[in-house]
C-alpha cells in the first residue's frame, strides 16, 4: 500500500539541511549531521488503524527494508480524514508495542502442578489443544436438554475474546466455536 | 525575522500526552523509571531523556478549579543565552534556516546551570552531554512537522514560519480573551515557542516565562539581561 | 454511535457524561474542539473533575449510579417548560401511542412483576391496537393514556430538589445543565451525547441510556447532524467483534441465537421476525429470514440445503430463560462446571468484575488456551498472588499472537466505519496472526473428527472452512464471505446476477439458499467493485457535513448517520438547513444514504403519501421508542440505587425499591456484597486514563506508557484524605466486600464530597489498568478485585461503576 499524498509543509529559506548547516563552516557533530538524515527516508510505508480505542485513527508504519525488517517509526496518517495525522499517547507508542522485548514469540506450555513455562512447538501445541477440545467436547456434549429439545451444545468449554481481533478473525472464530457447540461465547463488549 | 516557530495554545490542550510520547518515539529516547507521586505528571521534570514534558497543575482561580496543562519544551530563543554562555559553536549553535537551537556531543563537560537558560530546559545525561528539544530539525528539513506538533489532535501545538506563528498567536489571543480576560502570550518577541495561557503563568510552571527567580539556586545573569522583563502580553 | 466521530463538529451542544472522552477517546476532541470553536457548548458531568472537565464550558459532579435521577430531572424540566420539539415528537416517536390500562407503576414496580423470578411479564405493558392491528394513536398528544402523558406523569416525581438530594449535584448546577442542553429542542439546533461504560456498567445501565435517548427524542436530536446517541466504544474493534457476534445471545448482524424451543428454522423465523399491519411501516427486521438463511449458507456452504433446514440444527441452541453471559460463565467456572477455556485476546483475571472469583474459577479448569501478545495475569494465573502452583492442575497453553501492524484485515470503529489495515513487518519471532491460529486449530480439530467421529461431528465436518490461500489464512476470502455471494445465476428485483459474484447489498439477499452472507450488516462492504473498507478518498459529500462517503465504508450500506429520515420534516426537507443530512429533491434523496429510499411522508401537495414509510425503519411500528416495552426492567427508566450503595432508602418518591428489582444477582461465597455497611463507607468507581488501555496488557509492558502512569492509584478528595490521615502520594489500601488493592493515593481537589440526603458522602475512583504480571514488581493489582458481582438485567453488563469501599493508610 503506497501512501501517495502528504501534507508536507514548505520550508522557506532553506532547501536542504546540508547546505544550510555547512555554511557555518565548522565540523559537524552527531546532532548536526542527523539533521540531514531522516530515519524513515528509505522505509517501506504501510497504513494501519490504531489498535487501542475505537476512534479508528489512521497511522503510517515505517518498516525497514533492510536487515531485520522491523518497525522504525509509527506516526499519524495525515491523509486519514478522522485524525488528520494526530495520535494520543497510546497511539504514538504503537512502535513500542510492536518492537517490545516483553512480547511472547514462542508457544508455551504449563503442565499440571508445574511451577514453570516450557517452550513448545506450534505443531505440538495445536495438536494437543485439538485433542483437549475433542476430549472435553465429546465427554460433555448435550444433544437434548432436560425438556427433550434438541440443543447440540457443550457447556463444558467456554470462550472469551476478542475485540482485539480483526473482523474477519472474529467471524471465523465464532463460526468455529459455534460449530463446536459452544454457547459460552463472550468477550469485552459484555464488560 | 526568519526561521520557524511553535505556537502552543494551552486553551486547546487536553493533556493527552501524545506530544510527550511522540517526542520519545521519534528520538528513540528510553523511558525513565518513575513512581506515582500523587500526580498524573510524570516524569517529574525534564531530563536528558525527556525533551518534552506535559506539566499538569491543579489550581483554584477565583473559586473555580482549573487543571492547567503546559507542554513544556525548549523555547528556541531568538537570541539564545545558552549559545552565548556555551561560547562554542561546536557545542551549541542555531540552525540559520530554522532557528532551531541545537546541542551537540561537544556539550560534554558543560554545566547546564551555567548555560543560564531562563526557562530551565537543558539537562545533563549520564555521560556528561547536555540535551533538550531539537525542534525535530531533521523532520523539519525533510518537510515534516515536529513529532509533537504532528501528533497533537486539537490544534494546541502549531508549527510554521515565525511570522505565521506570531500572527496565529495574536489571533488566538484575541479569541481567547472573549472567554479568558487574563489570557496572554508568553515572551512572544523573544522565543520561537510562543505559549498562550489563560492564567498567571507561574500557576502553570515556575519557568513558564523567563524566570525572575533563581532556578536551582543559580542566578542567571546573562539571561536576565536579555530576556527577563516584566511579564507582558504582546497584545496589551 | 448513531452518528460518527467527525459529525461531532456539527453539534450545538455536547454533553459528555458517562464517558471521559478527552482521556479515553482523545482524538474525538479534535471535533469537540471544532464544535466549540464554532460556538457549541461543552457540558461535562462526572463524579470527578477529569481532563474532559478541564476543557468544558460547564462541569458538575454527580454521585456514581445516579444518572437516571439526574437525567430524569431533565425530562421533567423539558416537559414542564414545553421545550420539546412538538412536531418531531408527535410524528416520529411513539409519544402518541395509547398504552393499555394493564400498564401501571406503583411503589417502584411496574405492573407484571414476579418476585420469585425477579422478572416482569412484559405483556402487561402492551399498546392498545386498532381493528387493523396498528397501535392506537393520538397525534395531538392529548389522551391521558398516550405515551407522552404517561412519560410526563412518570417523571413528575423528579423535581430538582429531590434529584439534587440523590445525585449530590447542586440545584443550581442541575438547572444550568438542563437549560443549556434542552435549548436544542428548537428546530435546526442539535445536541449530542458522548457516553461510554460510565453509563453501561450499572444495574440500570440500559435504562441510563434509555433516559438519554428519550431526551434526544423529545428534543428532536435523533437522525440529525451533530445529534444522536453516541456510545464511545473503547476498543479498536469492539464494534466489529459485536457485529460479528462474539457474544452468547446473538448471531451475525444481531440475529438472535436460536433457543431450544425453536425446533425448526420455521420456528426460528416465526419467533424472531417482527410483524406489522401498518402499510406505512417498513419493519426492516421483517427481512430477517433472508439474513438468517444467507448466514447459514455462509456457515455450511453447499452442505446447507433446504432439505436439511440449511443446517439450522447443527448449530448449538440455548435454553429459554437461561443466561450464558460473562457473569454466568464465570459463575459456572467457579462452581467447577467448565473444563476447557479459551481466553483469546482477553485478560479476564483482571478485566472481569469480581476478578478474584474468576481467578479462583480458573483453578477448576482442566485446560486453558491463552492467546495474547504478552504473558498475562490470566495465562499465568497459577503463578499469581495467593496461588500455590503445586496444587493447581490446570494445563495452560499460551499461544503468541502477532501485533495488528504485522497482519492484514479490517476493524470497525465506533462510528461503524470498517477500515482495512495492511501488513508492515512480518510477525515477530514465531508469533502468528490470530486468523492463522484459528484456521490451523480448526483444521486439526476437523481432522480428528474425520478420523474418529465422536459426539455429533456434523457441525464440524459440514462447516465451510476454506479460508486459506497457499496454505495461509486469507482475510480477503473471509471478508468476501462476510459480504456474501450469489450461489446461482439469479434475477433479484429485476437485476440479473451471475453465480459466484459478490452480492452488492443486503437488499438482494434471499431466503431460499440462493445467496450467502456471513453477516448481512456487512453486505455491501466487499463487492464486485472491490474492497470498500480500503477506500481513501478525502472528498466530502455534496452536503459538506463531514460524511466522507468514499473514505472506508460503514454499515449499514455506507449510511454515515443512521435514522437520518428523521432529520427531515414530513415533506422531506431538512430541519437543519445549515447541516442537512438528507433532502428530498422531488424525485430522490440527496446527501447521506437515506434510511430507505421511500418518498417523504407527504406528497408535494401536502397529502399523506401511501408509498412513504415512517422513519424509524428498524422498529416494527416505524416510530422511535420513548416508551420501550421490550426492556427487562420497565418501559420507562426509573432511579434505583446500585446494588452496593450508601443510602438505606430510594429517595425518589413513590418508590420503595432500593435496587433494580430485576438486577442479576449471584450467590456463591465469592459473591459477597455490602450496602450501607460501616466497614465500606465510601462510594467507589473505576475508569480508564489516556496513558493505559483496558487491563493494561497492551500498555503495561511498554516502558514509555509506564513512565507516564507507573502505578495503581486511587483518587480521593482532600476532605477524605484529611479524614483518613492520608497524604498525597502515600500508599494506601482500598478494600471492598470482595478484596483489597494497594494503591498510590492521589489526594486531589478534583474530587469533592457529595451532599446526599443532607449527609456528606465521599467517593473515590480507581483505574482498572493494572495487574500483578506487569510491572514486574507484582505490587500493582487490578481494581476489579473490588468490583461487585451483579449486572444489568437486559445486558448483564457488570456494575463496575458504583460499589462501596473503604480506604486506609498502609500500616
pLDDT of residue C61: 98
Query: Which B residues, 122 through 141, put their C-beta within 8 Å of a C-beta on chain A?
Result: 134, 137-141
- Going by the DSSP 8-state scheme, the letter that residue C624 receives in this structure is B
% of residues, chain C, pLDDT over 90: 100
Is C120 in the A-facing interface, judged by CB distances under 8 Å? Answer: no
Is C388 in the A-facing interface, judged by CB distances under 8 Å? Answer: no
- Minimum Cα–Cα distance from B95: chain A residue: A21
pLDDT greater than 60 at residue B222: no
pLDDT band at B228 (very low <50, low <70, confident <90, very high): low
pLDDT tens across A111-137, in order? 999 999 999 999 999 999 999 999 999
pLDDT of residue A66: 87
pLDDT tens across C73-82, in order? 999 999 999 9
Q: Is A37 inside any structural domain?
A: no
Choose from B138, B146, B152, B160 for mutation: most chain A CBs within 10 A. Answer: B138
pLDDT of residue A32: 47
pLDDT tens across C347-385, in order? 999 998 999 999 999 999 999 999 999 999 999 999 999
What is d(CA A156, CA C403) in angstroms, rounded to the nearest whole number?
30
Cell numbers that stand for B112 in this block? 547546564
3-state helix/strand/coil string of C577-615: CCCCCEEECCCCEEECCCCCCCCCCECCCCCECCCCCCC
pLDDT tens across A13-66, in order? 333 333 333 333 333 344 444 446 689 988 999 999 999 999 999 999 999 998
- Respond yes or no on whether ipTM tops 0.95: yes
Q: CA dihedral defined by A99, A104, A105, A110, rounded to 10 degrees?
A: 170
The DSSP bridge partners found for residue C16 are C44, C194
B partners (3+ CB pairs within 8 A) are A, C
Q: What is the number of CB-based contacts under 8 A between chain A and chain B?
A: 118
Residues A125 and A145 in one domain: yes
Is C460 in the A-facing interface, judged by CB distances under 8 Å? Answer: yes
**How near does any CA of chain B get to the CA of A70, in Å?**
14
Helix crossing, A167-179 with C288-300: angle to 10°? 80
Residue with cell 518492537: A99
Residues A169 and A141 in one domain: yes
Residues A61 and A113 in one domain: no
Q: Which of B13-17, B39-43, B220-224, C701-705 has the lowest mean pLDDT?
A: B220-224
Q: Which of A78, A97, A116 is at the close of a domain?
A: A97
Residues A165 and A115 in one domain: yes
Pairwise pLDDT comparison (B111 vs B236), residue with the higher score: B111
Q: Is A13 inside any structural domain?
A: no
Q: Which of A71, A97, A123 is at the close of a domain?
A: A97
Q: Is A157 inside any structural domain?
A: yes
Q: Is A123 inside any structural domain?
A: yes
pLDDT greater than 70 at residue B235: no
Are the beta carbons of C782 and C757 closer than 8 angstroms? no
> Which chain A residues have a beta carbon less than 8 Å from that of B98?
11, 14
Residues A113 and A186 in one domain: yes
Shortest CB distance from B58 goes to which of C703, C709, C750? C750
Choose from B153, B162, B168 for mutation: most chain A CBs within 10 A. Answer: B153
**How near does any CA of chain C get to the CA of A19, in Å?**
34
pTM: 0.96
Are the beta carbons of C377 and C349 closer than 8 angstroms? yes
Query: Which A residues, 86 through 145, put their C-beta within 8 Å of a C-beta on chain C?
Result: 86-91, 93-94, 96-100, 102-115, 117, 122, 125-134, 136-141, 143, 145
Report residues of chain C scoring pLDDT below 50: none
Shortest CB distance from C341 goes to which of A58, A131, A158? A158
pLDDT of residue B213: 43
Shortest CB distance from A162 goes to which of C241, C324, C522? C241
**How near does any CA of chain C get to the CA of B219, in Å?**
32
Shortest CB distance from A35 goes to which of B18, B90, B138? B138
Is C405 in the A-facing interface, judged by CB distances under 8 Å? Answer: yes
Neighbours of C810 (CB within 10 A): 11
Q: Is A22 inside any structural domain?
A: no
Burial of residue A5 (number of CB atoms within 10 Å: 0-12, 13-18, 19+): exposed
Is B43 in the C-facing interface, judged by CB distances under 8 Å? Answer: yes
Residues A179 and A118 in one domain: yes
Residues A168 and A119 in one domain: yes
Residues A125 and A183 in one domain: yes
pLDDT band at B205 (very low <50, low <70, confident <90, very high): very high
Query: Could you tell me which of C657, C672, C804, C647 has the C-alpha nearest to residue C113?
Result: C657
pLDDT greater than 70 at residue A157: yes
Shortest CB distance from A166 goes to which of C252, C393, C475? C475
Neighbours of B174 (CB within 10 A): 11
pLDDT of residue B225: 52
Is A147 in the C-facing interface, judged by CB distances under 8 Å? Answer: yes
CB-based contacts of B177: which residues, under 8 Å, 6+ apart?
A: B183, B235
Residues spanned by the domain of A54: 44-97
Residues A112 and A181 in one domain: yes
C partners (3+ CB pairs within 8 A) are A, B
pLDDT band at B233 (very low <50, low <70, confident <90, very high): very low
Is A46 in the B-facing interface, judged by CB distances under 8 Å? Answer: no
Is A29 in the B-facing interface, judged by CB distances under 8 Å? Answer: yes
- Minimum Cα–Cα distance from B149: chain A residue: A86
pLDDT of residue C717: 98
pLDDT of residue A16: 32
Residues A120 and A158 in one domain: yes
pLDDT of residue A21: 33
CATH code where residue A53 lies: 3.30.200.210
Q: Is A80 inside any structural domain?
A: yes
Residues A81 and A113 in one domain: no
Helix (H, G, I), strand (E, B) or coil at C255: strand
Domains and CATH numbers, chain B: 1-236 (3.30.70.20)
- Minimum Cα–Cα distance from B54: chain A residue: A89
Is C787 in the A-facing interface, judged by CB distances under 8 Å? Answer: no
> Which chain C residues have a beta carbon less than 8 Å from that of A162?
241, 246, 344-346, 371, 434
Is C544 in the A-facing interface, judged by CB distances under 8 Å? Answer: no
Helix (H, G, I), strand (E, B) or coil at A183: strand
Is A164 in the B-facing interface, judged by CB distances under 8 Å? Answer: no
Average pLDDT of the residues of chain B: 91
Q: Which of A63, A97, A131 is at the close of a domain?
A: A97
> Which chain B residues have a beta carbon less than 8 Å from that of A96?
25
Total structural domains within chain A: 2
Is A12 in the B-facing interface, judged by CB distances under 8 Å? Answer: yes
Is A67 in the C-facing interface, judged by CB distances under 8 Å? Answer: no
Shortest CB distance from C29 goes to which of B38, B60, B154? B154
Q: Is A93 inside any structural domain?
A: yes
Residues A134 and A179 in one domain: yes
Handedness of CA C634, C639, C645, C647 (dihedral sign): negative
Q: Is A27 inside any structural domain?
A: no
Amino acid at each position: 500500500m503506497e501512501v501517495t499524498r502528504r501534507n508536507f509543509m514548505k520550508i522557506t529559506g532553506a532547501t536542504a539541511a546540508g547546505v544550510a548547516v555547512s555554511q557555518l563552516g565548522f565540523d559537524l557533530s552527531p546532532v548536526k549531521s542527523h539533521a540531514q538524515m531522516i530515519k524513515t527516508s528509505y522505509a517501506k510505508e504501510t497504513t494501519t488503524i490504531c489498535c487501542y480505542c475505537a476512534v479508528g485513527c489512521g497511522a503510517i508504519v515505517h518498516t525497514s527494508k533492510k536487515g531485520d525488517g522491523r518497525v522504525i517509526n509509527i506516526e499519524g496518517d495525515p491523509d486519514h480524514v478522522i485524525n488528520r495525522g494526530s495520535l494520543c499517547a497510546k497511539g504514538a507508542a504503537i512502535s513500542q508495542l510492536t518492537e517490545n522485548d516483553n512480547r511472547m514469540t514462542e508457544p508455551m506450555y504449563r503442565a499440571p502442578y508445574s511451577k514453570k513455562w516450557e517452550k513448545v512447538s506450534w505443531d505440538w501445541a495445536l495438536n494437543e489443544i485439538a485433542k483437549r477440545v475433542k476430549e472435553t467436547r465429546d465427554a460433555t456434549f448435550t444433544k437434548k436438554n432436560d425438556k427433550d429439545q434438541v440443543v447440540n451444545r457443550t457447556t463444558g468449554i467456554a470462550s472469551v475474546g476478542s475485540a482485539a481481533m480483526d473482523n474477519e478473525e472474529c467471524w471465523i472464530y465464532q463460526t468455529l466455536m459455534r460449530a463446536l457447540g459452544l454457547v459460552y461465547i463472550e468477550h469485552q463488549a459484555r464488560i | 525575522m526568519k526561521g520557524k516557530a511553535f505556537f502552543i495554545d494551552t486553551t486547546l490542550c487536553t493533556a493527552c500526552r501524545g506530544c510527550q510520547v511522540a517526542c520519545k518515539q521519534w528520538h528513540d529516547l528510553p523511558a525513565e523509571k518513575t513512581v506515582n507521586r500523587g500526580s498524573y505528571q510524570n516524569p517529574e521534570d525534564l531530563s536528558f531523556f525527556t525533551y518534552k514534558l506535559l506539566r499538569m497543575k491543579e489550581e483554584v482561580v477565583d473559586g473555580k478549579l482549573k487543571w492547567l496543562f503546559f507542554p513544556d519544551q525548549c523555547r528556541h530563543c531568538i537570541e539564545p543565552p545558552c549559545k552565548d554562555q556555551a561560547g562554542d559553536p561546536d557545542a551549541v549553535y542555531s540552525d540559520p534556516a530554522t532557528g532551531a537551537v541545537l546541542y551537540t556531543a561537544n556539550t560534554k563537560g558543560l554545566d547546564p546551570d551555567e548555560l543560564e537558560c531562563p526557562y530551565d530546559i537543558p539537562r545533563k545525561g549520564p555521560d556528561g552531554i547536555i540535551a533538550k528539544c531539537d525542534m525535530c530539525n531533521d523532520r523539519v528539513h525533510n518537510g515534516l512537522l515536529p513529532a509533537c506538533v504532528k501528533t497533537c489532535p486539537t490544534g494546541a501545538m502549531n508549527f510554521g514560519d515565525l511570522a505565521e506563528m506570531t500572527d496565529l498567536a495574536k489571533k488566538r489571543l484575541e479569541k481567547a480573551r472573549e472567554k479568558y480576560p487574563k489570557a496572554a502570550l508568553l515572551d512572544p518577541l523573544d522565543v520561537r515557542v510562543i505559549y498562550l495561557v489563560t492564567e498567571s503563568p507561574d500557576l502553570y510552571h515556575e519557568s513558564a516565562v523567563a524566570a525572575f527567580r533563581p532556578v536551582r539556586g543559580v542566578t542567571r545573569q546573562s539571561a536576565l539581561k536579555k530576556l527577563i522583563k516584566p511579564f507582558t502580553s504582546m497584545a496589551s | 454511535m448513531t452518528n460518527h466521530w467527525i459529525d461531532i463538529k456539527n453539534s450545538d451542544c455536547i454533553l459528555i457524561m458517562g464517558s471521559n472522552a478527552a482521556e479515553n477517546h482523545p482524538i474525538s476532541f479534535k471535533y469537540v474542539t471544532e464544535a466549540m470553536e464554532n460556538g457549541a457548548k461543552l457540558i461535562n458531568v462526572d463524579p470527578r473533575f477529569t481532563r474532559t472537565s478541564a476543557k468544558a464550558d460547564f462541569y458538575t459532579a454527580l454521585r456514581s449510579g445516579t444518572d437516571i435521577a439526574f437525567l430524569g430531572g431533565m425530562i421533567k424540566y423539558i416537559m414542564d417548560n414545553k421545550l420539546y420539539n412538538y412536531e418531531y415528537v408527535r410524528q416520529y416517536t411513539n409519544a402518541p401511542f395509547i398504552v393499555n390500562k394493564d400498564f401501571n407503576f406503583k411503589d417502584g414496580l411496574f405492573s407484571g412483576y414476579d418476585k420469585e423470578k425477579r422478572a416482569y411479564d412484559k405483556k402487561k405493558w402492551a399498546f392498545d391496537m386498532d381493528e387493523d392491528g396498528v397501535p392506537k394513536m393520538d397525534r395531538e398528544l392529548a389522551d391521558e393514556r398516550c405515551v407522552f402523558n404517561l412519560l410526563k406523569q412518570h417523571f413528575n416525581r423528579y423535581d430538582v430538589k429531590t434529584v439534587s438530594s440523590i445525585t449530590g449535584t447542586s440545584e443550581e448546577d442541575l438547572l444550568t445543565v438542563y437549560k443549556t442542553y434542552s435549548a436544542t429542542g428548537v428546530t435546526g439546533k442539535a445536541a449530542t451525547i458522548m457516553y461510554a461504560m460510565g453509563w453501561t456498567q450499572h444495574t440500570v445501565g440500559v435504562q441510563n441510556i434509555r433516559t438519554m435517548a428519550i431526551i434526544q427524542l423529545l428534543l428532536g436530536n435523533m437522525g440529525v447532524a451533530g445529534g444522536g446517541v453516541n456510545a464511545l466504544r473503547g476498543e479498536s474493534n469492539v464494534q466489529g467483534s459485536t457485529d460479528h457476534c462474539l457474544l452468547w445471545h446473538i448471531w451475525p448482524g444481531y440475529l438472535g441465537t436460536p433457543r431450544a424451543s425453536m425446533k425448526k428454522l420455521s420456528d426460528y423465523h416465526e419467533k424472531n421476525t417482527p410483524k406489522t399491519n401498518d402499510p406505512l411501516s417498513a419493519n426492516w427486521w421483517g427481512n430477517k429470514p433472508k439474513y438468517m438463511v444467507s448466514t447459514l449458507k455462509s456457515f455450511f456452504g453447499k452442505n446447507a440445503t433446504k432439505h436439511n433446514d440449511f443446517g439450522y440444527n447443527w448449530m448449538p441452541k440455548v435454553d429459554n430463560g437461561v443466561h450464558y453471559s460473562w457473569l454466568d460463565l464465570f459463575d459456572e467456572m467457579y462452581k467447577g462446571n467448565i473444563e476447557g477455556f479459551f481466553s483469546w485476546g482477553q485478560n479476564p483475571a483482571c478485566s472481569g468484575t469480581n476478578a478474584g472469583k474468576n481467578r479462583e474459577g480458573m483453578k477448576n479448569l482442566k485446560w486453558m488456551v491463552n492467546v495474547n501478545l504478552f504473558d498475562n495475569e490470566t495465562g499465568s494465573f497459577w503463578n499469581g498472588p495467593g496461588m500455590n502452583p503445586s496444587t493447581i492442575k490446570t494445563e495452560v497453553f499460551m499461544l503468541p499472537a502477532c501485533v495488528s501492524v504485522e497482519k492484514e484485515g479490517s476493524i470497525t470503529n465506533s462510528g461503524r466505519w470498517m477500515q482495512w489495515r495492511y501488513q508492515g513487518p512480518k510477525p515477530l519471532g514465531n508469533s502468528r496472526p490470530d486468523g492463522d491460529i484459528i484456521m490451523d486449530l480448526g483444521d486439526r480439530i476437523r481432522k480428528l473428527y474425520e478420523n474418529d467421529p465422536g459426539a455429533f461431528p456434523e457441525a464440524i465436518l459440514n462447516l465451510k472452512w476454506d479460508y486459506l490461500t497457499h496454505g495461509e489464512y486469507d482475510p480477503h476470502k473471509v471478508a468476501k464471505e462476510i459480504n456474501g455471494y450469489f450461489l446461482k445465476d439469479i434475477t433479484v428485483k429485476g437485476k440479473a446476477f451471475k453465480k459466484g459474484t459478490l452480492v452488492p447489498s443486503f437488499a438482494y439477499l434471499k431466503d431460499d439458499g440462493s445467496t450467502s452472507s456471513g453477516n448481512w450488516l456487512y453486505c455491501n462492504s466487499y463487492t464486485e467493485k472491490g474492497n470498500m473498507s480500503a477506500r481513501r478518498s478525502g472528498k466530502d459529500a455534496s452536503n459538506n457535513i463531514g460524511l466522507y462517503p468514499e473514505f472506508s465504508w460503514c454499515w449499514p450500506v455506507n449510511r454515515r448517520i443512521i435514522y437520518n429520515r428523521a432529520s427531515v420534516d414530513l415533506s422531506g426537507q431538512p430541519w437543519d438547513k445549515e447541516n442537512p443530512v438528507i433532502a428530498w429533491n422531488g424525485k430522490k434523496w440527496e446527501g447521506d444514504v437515506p434510511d430507505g429510499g421511500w418518498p417523504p411522508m407527504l406528497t408535494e401537495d401536502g397529502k399523506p403519501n401511501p408509498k412513504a414509510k415512517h422513519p424509524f425503519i428498524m422498529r416494527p411500528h416505524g416510530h422511535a421508542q420513548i416508551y420501550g416495552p421490550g426492556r427487562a426492567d420497565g418501559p420507562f427508566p426509573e432511579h434505583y440505587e446500585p446494588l452496593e450503595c450508601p443510602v438505606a432508602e430510594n429517595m425518589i418518591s413513590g418508590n420503595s425499591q432500593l435496587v433494580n428489582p430485576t438486577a442479576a444477582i449471584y450467590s456463591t461465597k465469592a459473591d459477597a456484597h455490602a450496602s450501607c455497611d460501616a466497614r465500606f463507607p465510601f462510594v467507589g468507581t473505576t475508569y480508564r486514563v489516556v496513558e493505559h488501555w483496558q487491563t493494561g496488557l497492551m500498555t503495561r509492558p511498554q516502558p514509555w506508557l509506564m513512565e507516564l502512569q507507573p502505578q495503581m492509584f486511587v483518587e480521593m478528595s482532600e476532605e477524605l484524605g484529611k479524614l483518613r490521615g492520608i497524604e498525597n502520594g502515600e500508599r494506601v489500601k482500598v478494600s471492598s466486600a470482595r478484596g483489597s488493592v494497594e494503591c498510590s493515593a492521589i489526594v486531589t481537589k478534583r474530587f469533592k464530597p457529595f451532599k446526599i440526603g443532607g449527609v456528606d458522602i465521599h467517593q473515590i475512583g480507581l483505574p482498572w489498568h493494572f495487574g500483578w504480571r506487569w510491572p514486574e514488581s507484582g505490587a500493582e493489582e487490578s481494581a476489579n478485585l473490588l468490583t461487585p458481582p451483579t449486572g444489568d438485567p437486559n445486558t448483564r453488563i457488570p456494575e463496575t461503576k458504583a460499589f462501596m469501599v473503604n480506604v486506609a493508610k498502609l500500616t
